[in-house]
Chains A and B, each alone.
Chain A
Amino acid sequence: MSRDLPPALQVDGQPRRLKLHRFQWIALPFLFLVPVLALLGVFGETWSRTDDTSAELALRVEYATRYRYKQINTVETFVQNVSSRSLDTVVVAFDPEYVRRFSTLVFIPSPVEPFEIELLDVKPGEIRHVWAELQGERYGRHRGTVEAYRRGSQDTARVFLSTTIYP
Protein backbone atom coordinates (compact mmCIF):
# COMPACT_ATOMS: atom_id res chain seq x y z
CA MET A 1 0.00 0.00 0.00
CA SER A 2 1.06 3.59 -0.62
CA ARG A 3 1.78 5.53 2.51
CA ASP A 4 -1.09 7.66 3.80
CA LEU A 5 -0.52 11.30 4.46
CA PRO A 6 0.81 12.21 7.90
CA PRO A 7 -1.91 13.51 10.25
CA ALA A 8 -0.48 17.04 10.01
CA LEU A 9 -1.47 17.14 6.34
CA GLN A 10 -4.96 15.74 6.81
CA VAL A 11 -7.14 18.80 7.14
CA ASP A 12 -10.48 17.49 5.93
CA GLY A 13 -12.35 16.60 9.11
CA GLN A 14 -15.44 18.71 8.52
CA PRO A 15 -18.77 17.12 7.63
CA ARG A 16 -19.61 17.72 3.99
CA ARG A 17 -23.02 18.92 2.90
CA LEU A 18 -24.20 19.45 -0.62
CA LYS A 19 -25.31 22.94 -1.51
CA LEU A 20 -26.24 24.43 -4.83
CA HIS A 21 -26.26 27.91 -6.29
CA ARG A 22 -29.67 29.37 -6.96
CA PHE A 23 -29.25 29.14 -10.74
CA GLN A 24 -28.24 25.48 -10.33
CA TRP A 25 -31.51 24.75 -8.54
CA ILE A 26 -33.28 26.12 -11.61
CA ALA A 27 -31.04 24.70 -14.34
CA LEU A 28 -30.20 21.25 -12.99
CA PRO A 29 -33.74 19.81 -13.18
CA PHE A 30 -33.79 20.74 -16.87
CA LEU A 31 -30.35 19.23 -17.35
CA PHE A 32 -31.36 15.95 -15.70
CA LEU A 33 -34.73 15.96 -17.42
CA VAL A 34 -33.26 15.42 -20.90
CA PRO A 35 -31.58 12.04 -20.21
CA VAL A 36 -34.56 10.93 -18.12
CA LEU A 37 -36.98 11.73 -20.94
CA ALA A 38 -34.61 10.05 -23.40
CA LEU A 39 -34.59 6.93 -21.20
CA LEU A 40 -38.38 7.01 -21.23
CA GLY A 41 -38.26 7.06 -25.01
CA VAL A 42 -39.59 10.57 -25.57
CA PHE A 43 -36.94 11.35 -28.20
CA GLY A 44 -36.86 7.92 -29.75
CA GLU A 45 -38.50 6.37 -32.77
CA THR A 46 -42.18 5.58 -32.67
CA TRP A 47 -44.11 3.46 -35.09
CA SER A 48 -47.70 3.22 -36.12
CA ARG A 49 -49.92 0.97 -38.18
CA THR A 50 -52.91 2.36 -39.99
CA ASP A 51 -55.33 0.74 -42.42
CA ASP A 52 -58.33 1.31 -44.62
CA THR A 53 -60.48 -0.84 -46.86
CA SER A 54 -62.30 -0.12 -50.10
CA ALA A 55 -64.65 -2.43 -51.94
CA GLU A 56 -61.74 -4.16 -53.69
CA LEU A 57 -58.63 -3.46 -51.66
CA ALA A 58 -57.45 -3.59 -48.09
CA LEU A 59 -54.58 -1.20 -47.40
CA ARG A 60 -52.30 -1.38 -44.39
CA VAL A 61 -49.34 0.95 -43.79
CA GLU A 62 -46.67 0.56 -41.12
CA TYR A 63 -44.44 3.59 -40.74
CA ALA A 64 -42.33 5.62 -38.33
CA THR A 65 -44.34 8.43 -36.80
CA ARG A 66 -41.30 9.99 -35.18
CA TYR A 67 -37.60 9.89 -35.90
CA ARG A 68 -34.60 12.12 -36.27
CA TYR A 69 -32.84 14.19 -38.86
CA LYS A 70 -30.85 12.14 -41.41
CA GLN A 71 -32.13 8.85 -40.03
CA ILE A 72 -33.60 6.46 -42.54
CA ASN A 73 -36.91 4.77 -41.98
CA THR A 74 -39.38 2.80 -44.00
CA VAL A 75 -43.01 3.09 -44.96
CA GLU A 76 -44.21 -0.46 -45.51
CA THR A 77 -47.44 -0.77 -47.42
CA PHE A 78 -49.45 -3.96 -47.73
CA VAL A 79 -52.22 -4.14 -50.30
CA GLN A 80 -54.62 -7.06 -50.36
CA ASN A 81 -57.13 -7.82 -53.07
CA VAL A 82 -60.31 -8.46 -51.07
CA SER A 83 -62.50 -8.80 -54.16
CA SER A 84 -63.37 -12.08 -55.82
CA ARG A 85 -61.61 -11.30 -59.11
CA SER A 86 -58.07 -10.53 -60.24
CA LEU A 87 -57.18 -6.88 -60.55
CA ASP A 88 -55.09 -5.99 -63.61
CA THR A 89 -53.41 -2.91 -62.22
CA VAL A 90 -53.45 -1.67 -58.65
CA VAL A 91 -51.88 1.70 -58.00
CA VAL A 92 -50.25 2.59 -54.69
CA ALA A 93 -49.82 6.37 -54.60
CA PHE A 94 -47.80 8.28 -52.03
CA ASP A 95 -48.73 11.90 -51.39
CA PRO A 96 -46.00 13.98 -53.13
CA GLU A 97 -46.34 16.76 -50.55
CA TYR A 98 -45.49 14.24 -47.84
CA VAL A 99 -42.73 12.38 -49.65
CA ARG A 100 -40.93 15.52 -50.88
CA ARG A 101 -40.23 16.49 -47.29
CA PHE A 102 -37.81 13.56 -47.06
CA SER A 103 -34.63 12.79 -48.96
CA THR A 104 -32.90 9.70 -50.36
CA LEU A 105 -36.17 8.19 -51.50
CA VAL A 106 -36.14 4.50 -52.41
CA PHE A 107 -39.24 2.63 -53.56
CA ILE A 108 -39.55 -1.10 -54.18
CA PRO A 109 -41.06 -1.88 -56.66
CA SER A 110 -39.89 1.14 -58.65
CA PRO A 111 -42.52 3.81 -59.35
CA VAL A 112 -43.91 4.18 -62.88
CA GLU A 113 -45.01 7.75 -62.19
CA PRO A 114 -43.53 9.99 -59.48
CA PHE A 115 -44.41 8.30 -56.18
CA GLU A 116 -46.89 5.93 -57.87
CA ILE A 117 -46.24 2.21 -57.87
CA GLU A 118 -48.16 -0.20 -60.04
CA LEU A 119 -48.92 -3.73 -58.92
CA LEU A 120 -49.94 -5.93 -61.82
CA ASP A 121 -52.30 -8.89 -61.84
CA VAL A 122 -53.22 -9.00 -58.16
CA LYS A 123 -55.12 -12.21 -57.55
CA PRO A 124 -58.07 -12.51 -55.13
CA GLY A 125 -56.83 -12.68 -51.53
CA GLU A 126 -53.24 -11.92 -52.58
CA ILE A 127 -51.22 -9.48 -50.49
CA ARG A 128 -48.57 -7.31 -52.18
CA HIS A 129 -45.87 -5.43 -50.36
CA VAL A 130 -44.59 -1.96 -51.29
CA TRP A 131 -41.51 -0.77 -49.52
CA ALA A 132 -40.45 2.87 -49.30
CA GLU A 133 -37.35 4.19 -47.60
CA LEU A 134 -37.30 7.84 -46.54
CA GLN A 135 -34.53 9.80 -44.90
CA GLY A 136 -35.52 12.51 -42.44
CA GLU A 137 -34.63 15.88 -43.96
CA ARG A 138 -36.95 18.70 -42.91
CA TYR A 139 -37.71 19.21 -39.24
CA GLY A 140 -41.23 19.25 -37.93
CA ARG A 141 -44.44 17.35 -38.57
CA HIS A 142 -45.23 16.12 -42.05
CA ARG A 143 -48.66 14.87 -43.02
CA GLY A 144 -49.80 13.05 -46.10
CA THR A 145 -51.66 10.06 -47.49
CA VAL A 146 -51.07 6.71 -49.10
CA GLU A 147 -53.79 5.56 -51.48
CA ALA A 148 -54.46 2.26 -53.17
CA TYR A 149 -56.94 1.87 -56.01
CA ARG A 150 -57.57 -0.17 -59.10
CA ARG A 151 -56.50 1.74 -62.21
CA GLY A 152 -59.64 3.39 -63.64
CA SER A 153 -61.66 3.01 -60.46
CA GLN A 154 -62.82 5.80 -58.14
CA ASP A 155 -62.97 3.42 -55.20
CA THR A 156 -59.89 4.21 -53.11
CA ALA A 157 -58.46 2.90 -49.88
CA ARG A 158 -56.69 5.79 -48.18
CA VAL A 159 -54.65 6.11 -45.01
CA PHE A 160 -53.29 9.27 -43.41
CA LEU A 161 -49.67 9.50 -42.29
CA SER A 162 -48.16 11.91 -39.83
CA THR A 163 -44.44 11.87 -39.18
CA THR A 164 -42.43 14.16 -36.93
CA ILE A 165 -38.75 14.69 -37.66
CA TYR A 166 -36.64 15.90 -34.75
CA PRO A 167 -33.72 18.20 -35.58
Chain B
Amino acid sequence: METVLRVGFVYAFILVLLRIMGKRELSQLSPLELVMLILIPELVAQALVREDFSMTNAVIAVTTLISLVFVTSMLVYRFRWFGALVEGKPSLLVEAGKPVPETMDRERIPADEIAAEMRRAGIERLEDVKWAILEPGGRISFIGYEPNDTRPPPDNDLF
Protein backbone atom coordinates (compact mmCIF):
# COMPACT_ATOMS: atom_id res chain seq x y z
CA MET B 1 0.00 0.00 0.00
CA GLU B 2 2.77 2.39 0.94
CA THR B 3 4.57 1.81 -2.37
CA VAL B 4 1.47 2.85 -4.36
CA LEU B 5 1.08 6.03 -2.31
CA ARG B 6 4.78 6.84 -2.56
CA VAL B 7 4.88 6.33 -6.34
CA GLY B 8 1.70 8.41 -6.73
CA PHE B 9 3.11 11.23 -4.65
CA VAL B 10 6.51 11.27 -6.37
CA TYR B 11 4.85 11.11 -9.81
CA ALA B 12 2.59 14.09 -9.08
CA PHE B 13 5.43 15.96 -7.39
CA ILE B 14 7.84 15.58 -10.34
CA LEU B 15 5.05 16.40 -12.81
CA VAL B 16 4.34 19.65 -10.97
CA LEU B 17 8.06 20.49 -10.76
CA LEU B 18 8.58 19.90 -14.49
CA ARG B 19 5.59 22.14 -15.27
CA ILE B 20 7.06 24.85 -13.06
CA MET B 21 10.40 24.52 -14.85
CA GLY B 22 8.77 25.35 -18.18
CA LYS B 23 8.70 23.89 -21.66
CA ARG B 24 12.23 24.54 -22.79
CA GLU B 25 13.81 22.33 -20.17
CA LEU B 26 12.04 19.32 -21.59
CA SER B 27 13.74 19.30 -24.95
CA GLN B 28 17.22 20.66 -24.32
CA LEU B 29 19.63 19.52 -21.70
CA SER B 30 21.74 22.36 -20.46
CA PRO B 31 24.29 21.44 -17.75
CA LEU B 32 21.81 22.60 -15.08
CA GLU B 33 19.01 20.42 -16.38
CA LEU B 34 21.35 17.49 -16.87
CA VAL B 35 22.35 17.71 -13.21
CA MET B 36 18.68 17.83 -12.26
CA LEU B 37 17.74 14.80 -14.36
CA ILE B 38 20.64 12.78 -12.98
CA LEU B 39 19.94 13.74 -9.38
CA ILE B 40 16.17 13.30 -9.31
CA PRO B 41 16.22 9.49 -9.79
CA GLU B 42 19.01 9.20 -7.21
CA LEU B 43 17.01 11.20 -4.71
CA VAL B 44 13.67 9.53 -5.17
CA ALA B 45 14.85 5.92 -5.64
CA GLN B 46 15.47 5.42 -1.96
CA ALA B 47 12.13 6.99 -1.07
CA LEU B 48 10.33 4.69 -3.50
CA VAL B 49 11.83 1.31 -2.72
CA ARG B 50 12.99 1.96 0.87
CA GLU B 51 14.63 -1.27 2.04
CA ASP B 52 12.28 -3.42 0.01
CA PHE B 53 14.14 -4.89 -2.96
CA SER B 54 11.60 -7.63 -3.62
CA MET B 55 10.18 -8.36 -7.04
CA THR B 56 6.71 -7.82 -5.57
CA ASN B 57 7.58 -4.24 -4.65
CA ALA B 58 9.11 -3.61 -8.09
CA VAL B 59 5.99 -4.96 -9.83
CA ILE B 60 3.71 -2.82 -7.64
CA ALA B 61 5.82 0.30 -8.24
CA VAL B 62 6.04 -0.19 -12.01
CA THR B 63 2.34 -1.04 -12.50
CA THR B 64 1.39 1.95 -10.34
CA LEU B 65 3.59 4.26 -12.39
CA ILE B 66 2.36 2.89 -15.73
CA SER B 67 -1.26 3.13 -14.53
CA LEU B 68 -0.73 6.74 -13.47
CA VAL B 69 0.89 7.62 -16.78
CA PHE B 70 -1.92 5.93 -18.72
CA VAL B 71 -4.69 7.59 -16.71
CA THR B 72 -2.95 10.97 -17.00
CA SER B 73 -2.62 10.59 -20.77
CA MET B 74 -6.31 9.64 -21.05
CA LEU B 75 -7.33 12.69 -19.02
CA VAL B 76 -4.99 14.93 -21.04
CA TYR B 77 -6.64 13.70 -24.23
CA ARG B 78 -10.22 13.80 -22.98
CA PHE B 79 -10.14 17.17 -21.22
CA ARG B 80 -8.36 20.05 -22.94
CA TRP B 81 -8.11 22.02 -19.71
CA PHE B 82 -6.31 19.10 -18.08
CA GLY B 83 -3.94 18.85 -21.04
CA ALA B 84 -3.15 22.54 -20.73
CA LEU B 85 -2.61 22.07 -17.00
CA VAL B 86 -0.28 19.09 -17.30
CA GLU B 87 1.50 19.75 -20.57
CA GLY B 88 1.05 23.48 -21.09
CA LYS B 89 -0.01 25.26 -24.25
CA PRO B 90 1.99 26.18 -27.34
CA SER B 91 3.32 29.73 -27.22
CA LEU B 92 3.92 32.15 -30.03
CA LEU B 93 7.56 33.28 -30.24
CA VAL B 94 7.50 34.97 -33.63
CA GLU B 95 4.52 36.40 -35.48
CA ALA B 96 4.64 37.86 -38.96
CA GLY B 97 8.43 37.96 -38.92
CA LYS B 98 8.49 39.83 -35.61
CA PRO B 99 9.61 38.37 -32.29
CA VAL B 100 7.15 38.33 -29.40
CA PRO B 101 9.42 39.50 -26.55
CA GLU B 102 6.88 38.87 -23.82
CA THR B 103 6.74 35.14 -24.72
CA MET B 104 10.51 34.92 -25.15
CA ASP B 105 11.07 36.42 -21.70
CA ARG B 106 8.49 34.21 -20.06
CA GLU B 107 9.80 31.02 -21.65
CA ARG B 108 13.44 32.09 -21.34
CA ILE B 109 14.12 31.69 -25.06
CA PRO B 110 16.80 34.18 -26.20
CA ALA B 111 16.82 35.54 -29.72
CA ASP B 112 20.00 33.69 -30.63
CA GLU B 113 18.34 30.40 -29.71
CA ILE B 114 15.49 31.15 -32.09
CA ALA B 115 18.11 32.07 -34.70
CA ALA B 116 19.90 28.75 -34.11
CA GLU B 117 16.65 26.82 -34.46
CA MET B 118 15.88 28.76 -37.63
CA ARG B 119 19.23 27.77 -39.12
CA ARG B 120 18.56 24.17 -38.15
CA ALA B 121 15.21 24.42 -39.96
CA GLY B 122 16.93 25.91 -43.02
CA ILE B 123 15.40 29.37 -42.60
CA GLU B 124 17.69 32.24 -43.38
CA ARG B 125 15.85 35.36 -42.23
CA LEU B 126 13.33 36.16 -39.55
CA GLU B 127 11.17 37.93 -42.09
CA ASP B 128 10.61 34.54 -43.71
CA VAL B 129 8.95 33.23 -40.54
CA LYS B 130 5.21 33.67 -40.40
CA TRP B 131 4.92 31.98 -37.03
CA ALA B 132 7.42 30.38 -34.67
CA ILE B 133 5.77 28.33 -31.97
CA LEU B 134 7.25 26.91 -28.82
CA GLU B 135 5.48 23.56 -28.54
CA PRO B 136 4.49 22.07 -25.16
CA GLY B 137 7.28 19.49 -25.58
CA GLY B 138 9.89 22.26 -25.85
CA ARG B 139 10.51 22.13 -29.61
CA ILE B 140 10.24 25.23 -31.76
CA SER B 141 8.13 24.88 -34.91
CA PHE B 142 8.44 27.33 -37.78
CA ILE B 143 5.78 28.15 -40.32
CA GLY B 144 6.91 30.14 -43.33
CA TYR B 145 5.02 32.31 -45.74
CA GLU B 146 3.21 30.88 -48.72
CA PRO B 147 4.16 32.51 -52.04
CA ASN B 148 0.88 34.45 -52.22
CA ASP B 149 0.93 35.61 -48.54
CA THR B 150 1.35 39.32 -47.87
CA ARG B 151 4.47 39.99 -45.84
CA PRO B 152 4.75 42.87 -43.36
CA PRO B 153 7.73 45.22 -43.70
CA PRO B 154 10.75 44.09 -41.63
CA ASP B 155 11.27 46.40 -38.62
CA ASN B 156 12.88 44.40 -35.84
CA ASP B 157 16.29 44.91 -34.37
CA LEU B 158 16.52 41.73 -32.33
CA PHE B 159 18.55 39.74 -34.84
Contacts and interface: CB of A to CB of B under 8 A. Distances in A.
Contacts of A34: 59-60, 63-64, 67
A43 interface: yes
A38 interface: yes
Given A4-B92, A32-B67, A38 B3 contact: yes
B1 A18 contact: no
B54 A71 contact: yes
Contacts of A167: 54-56
B120 interface: no
B124 interface: no
A22 interface: no
A2 B1 CA distance: 42
B56 A2 contact: no
Interface in A57-80: 68-71
Nearest to B58: A167
Give the dominant DSSP class at A's interface: loop
Given A16-B78, A38-B60, A2 B54 contact: no
A106 B77 CA distance: 54
A4 B131 CA distance: 12
- Interface residue range, chain B: 35 or more
B56 A43 contact: yes
B92 A3 contact: yes
Nearest to A41: B1
Interface of B: 1-5, 51-57, 59-60, 63-64, 66-67, 70, 74, 77-78, 80, 89-92, 95, 100, 102-103, 106-107, 131, 133, 143
23 contacts: A2-B106, A2-B107, A3-B95, A5-B90, A5-B92, A17-B78, A18-B74, A18-B77, A34-B60, A34-B64, A34-B67, A38-B1, A38-B3, A40-B1, A43-B56, A44-B1, A68-B54, A68-B56, A69-B53, A69-B55, A70-B54, A166-B55, A167-B56
